[in-house]
Chain A
Amino acid sequence: MKRWTKVMTGAAAIALATAGCAGSGGTDSGGDAAAGEDRTLTVWLMDGSAPETLTDALHEEFEQANDGVTVKYEIQPWNGIQDKLTTALASQNPPDVIELGNTQAPAFAAEGVLTDLSGDVDALHGDQWLDSLKASGEWDGKQFSTPFYAANREIIYRTDMFEQAGIAAPPTSREEWLDAITKLEAKFGSDPQFQSLYLPGQNWYALLSFIWDEGGDIATKDGTNFSAALTTPEAKAGLEFYKQLVDASGTTAPKDNDEQNPVQAGIFGQGKVAMMIGLPWEVATATEDAPDLKDKISGFPIPSKNAGETAPVFQGGSNLAIPVNSANADLAKDYLKLLLSEKYQTMLAEAGMVPGASTDLSPLEADPVSKAMAEAAKNGRSVPATPAWATIEAGQNPLKDMLTAYLTGAKSLDQATADANTALDEAFSSGA
């Protein structure tokens, strides 16, 4: 439902943006106001990104350090943000600091609408940056956005069920994971509603983990060009493991939908599911109607095929950028410097996120579910940093179609991967 409300508002915004812009002449970079004059720094962060305690402290410190500067802080909803940003960036008076979804960032960078930050990486604590988000912010060898925060998926499980099924410790290899599924099925399988692992057919984030774990990737990079790599033996092996999980667990989750439809945390909360692949905060959704489950939920990283290692994980998150039309670029850089400093990054970690500019993940270790995320975070990866990716996510994701076609048996492994490979290549070539 969210997606197409987004689309509706987006379409309206685009109509307005295109109509409003058709007549406008060249850009007006504005020029920085003289120092000492009263200035306003407009900051757009996303809903649910930075906790209020963080932004309150940050803005107080920033305003005190910069005389005559007021921070105009606006929280934006994720719904329709891509189109709202398009409209805002096209205006004469854009926000000075914006937050971008890490998979959307390359699209904006490639269009040349963001300030080049290559020269400021060190000043912005570049040595502490999270690799996956750093990569998302790069385009054509330049850095256009900085990491902000990230999160990655893990396996969220029911400790009580594991105990009853005689599983002593969380699995640390694929083999142990499959073994746990077998044990859980043996113990609880008589209940037709029981699912040892809830895994919908289109959880492509999980698929990415498996493909990377095999040593493959979905695309290879050559400068700013990407070509799909789904027909490699590694990618196929990742897909096969996905099917192995679906078959072993006998999950009744829809094969033609993702973890959001229906919301998997809601199903987990009904108490008949032992494991799901999800984000730490999905636990809160799951226990909303079942508070008694709270003490029975923990997490472990997605295990690798190499025993003892964790599988690489897709890191979703946000980048921070300065629009090229911003009149206060210097001030915006100072703001980023402060936000990316240790103090505020630690606060982000305490709020349960993987900080984008701090390698210290210890604040996450207090909670077992967050701890599992932090463990896997060292091995975080991102999708190809190409403008096409924003389009793929907004629309028809070939990886999802591939999964559904293969899992339902509509296509063979070779056919499904070949078709998805073609579709991905097409998207890469038309999106740039």
Chain B
Amino acid sequence: MTTTAHVTVPAGPPPPAPPRAGRPRRADLGERTIPYLLLAPAVITMLVLLGWPAVQVVAISFRRLDLGELVRGEIVWIGLDNYRAALSDPEVWTVVLRTVVFTACVVAATVLVAGLLAILLRHLAPGVRVAVQTFLVLAWATPIVAATTVFQWIFDQQYGILNKTLVKLGFDGFAGYSWFSSGPSTLTVIGLMIVWQAVPFVCFTIYAGLLTAPRELYEAAAMDGASPWQAFTTVSWPSIRPLVMLATFLSVIWDFKVFAQVWAFRQGGPDGESTTLPVLLYLKGIASRHFGLASAIAVLMILVLLVLTARYLQLLLRSKEGDL
């Protein structure tokens, strides 16, 4: 769901602006409205498909909308009751904190591993590089359902290949070891899988950035006696910085709202210890058929995300032409 979304990443400078009309003149009404008319279908589609559901979520969060109201088509406004119900539960704060920490760890690991892989790709011989890239694409293309099933098998208590391998290697304590006996352990396994799924996209993004740094710059740096670290900080980093920012930002959004993988392993267990915000939303809202409460938690999630990504949004709004 999250890791397979496609985002086009500009790899080079923006295309030059079209040449202005040679002779300045007052455009007539038709000519001035044409651009807006041409934009209209896209804008309207976006408003209907993206804007309207978002407005609905916020509106529903102020309503009591259980199955009965839904079937009878009643609209019952209850003000902030849903928010009160969501926030008065002490569990919510634990879950928010857990989700934030989980997201931070997963994003950091993703970007770090992907960055190192991207640099490795830059230094590999073409044949090996193509092989590594192929494996990355395969990992990326694996459907979430399939990948999750495979990971569940790997970590299975009795029949998992991981425990069997560890025992073969002499770690007898892992015979019948349960990787899902505690929340942190469960979340680590889930995080590992999410990182595995997310690395290819981020890696290719950063690799694309690395390619924009001309070889001559590295040669020049080498001639000036720069260490590899200096070459990285002065030549590579400036060219990949905007892309690392972008990848981090997107990863935060994706990993924060990841549901399928977390749910699939232990439904937020054991004892609710791997419950993240999206799981909480499903349990409290959808499974219990309190759609108003579900919407309220969804709005809270958006707020937390806004706080987490505030810095990036600030940069995005301040910068011109996406130049970060």
Contacts and interface: CB of A to CB of B under 8 A. Distances in A.
A254 B178 contact: yes
Given A7-B282, A431-B288, A113 B68 contact: yes
Contacts of A388: 288
A115 interface: no
A391 B266 CA distance: 16
Nearest to B261: A4
A256 B68 contact: no
Given A26-B72, A107-B67, A396 B267 contact: yes
B263 interface: yes
B268 interface: yes
B167 interface: no
Interface string A396-432: 1000110011001010000000010000000000110
A111 B288 CA distance: 12
A70 interface: no
Interface in A1-15: 1, 3-5, 7-8, 10-11, 14-15
Contact of A408 (B68, B159, B181): B181
Interface stretch (A16-24, A334-342, A345-353): A16-24
Interface string B59-70: 110000111101
A7 B286 CA distance: 9
A9 to B, nearest CB: 12
Interface centre among A5, A22, A25, by most chain B C-beta atoms within 10 angstroms, is A22
A396 B272 contact: yes
Contact of A256 (B149, B178, B264, B286): B178
B158 interface: yes
A22 B267 contact: no
Contacts of A3: 263-264, 267
Given A1-B149, A21-B73, A26-B73, A395 B268 contact: yes
B264 A27 contact: no
A417 to B, nearest CB: 14
A130 interface: no
B289 A401 contact: no
Interface in A317-346: 324-325
A396 B268 contact: yes
B56 A86 contact: no
Contacts of A261: 152
Contacts of B268: 395-396
A111 B287 contact: no
B56 A18 contact: yes
B80 interface: no
Contacts of B291: 14, 18
B70 A17 contact: yes
B77 to A, nearest CB: 12
A262 interface: yes
B81 interface: no
A46 interface: no
Given A90-B70, A324-B71, A390 B56 contact: no
Interface size class on chain A is 35 or more
Question: Interface residues of A: mostly helix, strand, loop or mixed?
Answer: helix
B104 interface: no
Contacts of B158: 252-254, 262
A427 B222 CA distance: 66
Nearest to B75: A22
Nearest to B85: A430
A255 interface: yes
A394 B268 CA distance: 12
A112 interface: yes
A22 B59 contact: yes
Contact of B283 (A10, A14, A391, A408): A391
A395 B59 contact: no
B217 interface: no
Nearest to A427: B288
Contacts of B56: 18-19, 22
B307 to A, nearest CB: 25
B75 to A, nearest CB: 8
B70 A86 contact: yes
Interface centre among A4, A252, A255, by most chain B C-beta atoms within 10 angstroms, is A4
B40 to A, nearest CB: 23
Contacts of B272: 396, 401
A108 interface: yes
Contacts of B260: 4, 7-8
A89 interface: yes
Interface centre among B70, B259, B269, by most chain A C-beta atoms within 10 angstroms, is B70
Contacts of A83: 286
Contacts of B283: 391, 394-396
Nearest to B272: A396
6 tightest A-B contacts by CB? A394-B287, A111-B68, A111-B67, A24-B73, A391-B288, A395-B283
16 contacts: A1-B149, A11-B282, A18-B70, A22-B60, A25-B73, A107-B67, A113-B67, A252-B158, A254-B158, A388-B288, A390-B289, A395-B287, A396-B275, A396-B283, A401-B270, A419-B271
Interface of A: 1, 3-5, 7-8, 10-11, 14-15, 17-19, 21-22, 24-27, 83, 86, 89-90, 107-108, 111-113, 252-257, 261-262, 324-325, 388, 390-391, 394-396, 400-401, 404-405, 408, 410, 419, 430-431
Given A253-B158, A256-B180, 17 more contacts: A7-B282, A8-B260, A15-B53, A18-B70, A26-B73, A90-B70, A107-B67, A111-B67, A113-B67, A254-B157, A256-B269, A261-B152, A391-B288, A395-B268, A396-B268, A396-B269, A404-B271
